[in-house]
Structure 1
Amino acid sequence: MMLNFFDQFMSPTFLGLPLIVVSLTAPWALYPQPTARWLNNRLITLQSWFINRFTQQIFLPISTPGHKWALMLTSLMLFLITLNMLGLLPYTFTPTTQLSLNMALAVPLWLATIIIGMRNQPTHALGHLLPEGTPTLLIPILIIIETISLFIRPLALGVRLTANLTAGHLLIQLIATAAFVLLPLMPTVALLTTALLFMLTLLEVAVAMIQAYVFVLLLSLYLQENV
């Protein structure tokens, strides 16, 4: 029986337990906890170096009040990267291909940046809705456009992450299916297809890391506008 290619994106259940819960808790079990020792092993040292470099790069242009978000955004970065990378393993489920999960991450964090801006500096926050020097006739139109673009930000965050990961997984499955079908018919073409599949898998690994970084980077830019 021919299965639907989109079946891989259905949230699996086992004994009535949704396995997306297991997938969401898996990243926290994979990272070693830092210790108070003077010398750590190579893995913890590399992990600490990566976290410090990422935090420094993300929060360098953000003013001091926004540095309170460092722990949250760094943890979100590691969380998304781990989920995306684990989803590339065989017989696994990628929670970040679910739009509901991505929107559940994007909407509260985006809304928190808006609330912070409206509470601390409402004039500056509302000033983003109307560029300086706008002609009088264009003021209502620009306010409507900027308001729509403001509210579409969380949707763009969630859809971008979902669409990129879903497209990559579908391409991998399509090319892998083609390689299996062509193997007894045209072995040479099947080998070329397998080589293409290998390169696509490497590309998908890069996409998994880049999309997690872009998600957090855009949130940091939204935070920068409101602190």
Structure 2
Amino acid sequence: MTLSFFDQFMPPIFMGMPLTILAMTLPWALLPTPSHRWVGNRLIALQNWFLNRFTRQLLLPLNSGGHKWALLFASLMMFLLTLNILGLLPYTFTPTTQLSINLGLAVPLWFATVIIGMRNQPTIALGHLLPIGTPAPLIPILIIIETISLFIRPLALGVRLTANLTAGHLLIQLISSGAFILASLMPAVAITTAAILFLLTLLEVAVAVIQAYVFVLLLSLYMQENV
């Protein structure tokens, strides 16, 4: 059977059952459970420090109404971060390379921000569709453009996360395949390719962290417009 490079993005199936749900729930078991003691271990202290710094930085531009989303944003950040990084390990599956899963996260959360804006401040929420000082002949065109840009936001969230992770995984597989083939033919070139692969892996880890942060950051900006 001939395999393609895109077969690594196929959801794993065992006995006819997809293991995507298992791949999405397993990372939660790897996170340390916070204890009620005053002093915990170093891993729990590092996790709490990261969550505090991230939540404080994320909610800094939001008013008090948006602070209710702190727990959801922090949980979503840890969820995407663990999925993205664990997907770089060998013989693992990255659920966030699936556009359906990313859209399943982006669409409900984006729609929740729109509903909150229409419920709490409908005038301001509708005012985002028409900039102040717009000439009268351009009003219908700008309303259509702003409406399209509003509805394209969840698609942009999902596609951005999917495209970045998919491109990185494909590039890693291409370079690793080249290094494996060149190992017996040109060892010096294979060693150079392996060094490039190591640097690319570090870059992909940074991309996994950044994309998780960007996903949550954009959601917080959408929330900022509606609270």
TM-score using structure 1 length: 0.98
Whether 1:180 aligns to 2:180 is: yes
In structure 2, how many angstroms separate the alpha carbons of the residues matched to 1:46 and 1:115? Answer: 36
Three-state SS of the structure 1 residue aligned to 2:111 is: helix
**1:91 & 1:33 partners in 2: Cα distance?**
26
Distance in 2, matches of 1:201 and 1:2, equals 26
Partner of 1:216: 216
Match of 2:70 in 1: 70
- Indicate the residue corresponding to 1:102 in structure 2: 102
Deviation at 1:186, TM superposition (A): 1.1
Structure 1 residue 2, shift from structure 2 partner:
4.2
Q: Which runs of 5+ in 2 are unaligned?
A: none
Residue equivalent to 1:200: 200
Answer yes or no: is 1:140 the counterpart of 2:119: no
| Aligned alpha-carbon RMSD (Å) | 0.8
Give the stretch that moved more between structures: 178-187 or 84-93: 178-187
Equivalent residue number for residue 46 of structure 1:
46
Measured in 1, the distance between the counterparts of 2:162 and 2:207 equals 12
> What are structure 1's unaligned runs of at least 5 residues?
none
Moved over 2 A (4+): none
The 5 Å alignment of 1:17-32 reads 17-32=17-32
| CA distance, structure 2, for counterparts of residue 37 and residue 118 of structure 1 | 43
- Provide Cα deviations, 1:74-113, integer angstroms capped at 9, x if missing partner: 0000000000001000000000000000000000000000
Q: Percent identity?
A: 75
Deviations 1:92-149 (A, max 9, x none): 0000000000000000000000000000000000010000000011111110000000
Following the alignment from structure 1 to structure 2, what is the Cα–Cα distance between the partners of residues 67 and 12? 38
Structure 1 residue 17 displacement after superposition: 2.4
Aligned mates of 2:32, 2:202 — CA distance in 1: 26
Shift of 1:176: 0.5
Deviation, 1:154, is 0.1
Count matched residues.
Answer: 227
The amino acid of 1:3's aligned partner reads L
Task: Give secondary structure in 1 for the equivalent of 2:225.
Answer: helix
C-alpha distance in structure 2 between counterparts of 1:54 and 1:226, whole Å: 21
- Distance between the aligned counterparts of 1:130 and 1:189, measured in 2? 57
Structure 1 distance, partners of 2:130, 2:173, is 46
**Counterpart residue number, 2:114:** 114
Report whether the alignment pairs 1:5 with 2:5.
yes
The whole-number CA distance in structure 1 between the counterparts of 2:213 and 2:22 is 23
The 1-side partners of 2:221 and 2:110 are apart by: 10
Distance 2:118 2:16 in 1: 43
Give the secondary-structure state (helix, strand or coil) at the position aligned to 2:144.
Answer: helix
Distance 1:183 1:3 in 2: 22
Aligned to 1:83: 83
TM-score, normalization by structure 2: 0.98
Whole-Å Cα distance in 2 between the matches of residues 145 and 39 of structure 1? 54
Q: CA deviation at 1:184?
A: 1.3
Q: Deviations over 1:182-225 (max 9, x none)?
A: 11111111111111100000000000000000000000000000
| Paired position in structure 2 for 1:15 | 15
- Between the aligned partners of 1:148 and 1:88, the Cα distance in structure 2 is 35
Which deviates the most, 30-39 or 151-160?
30-39
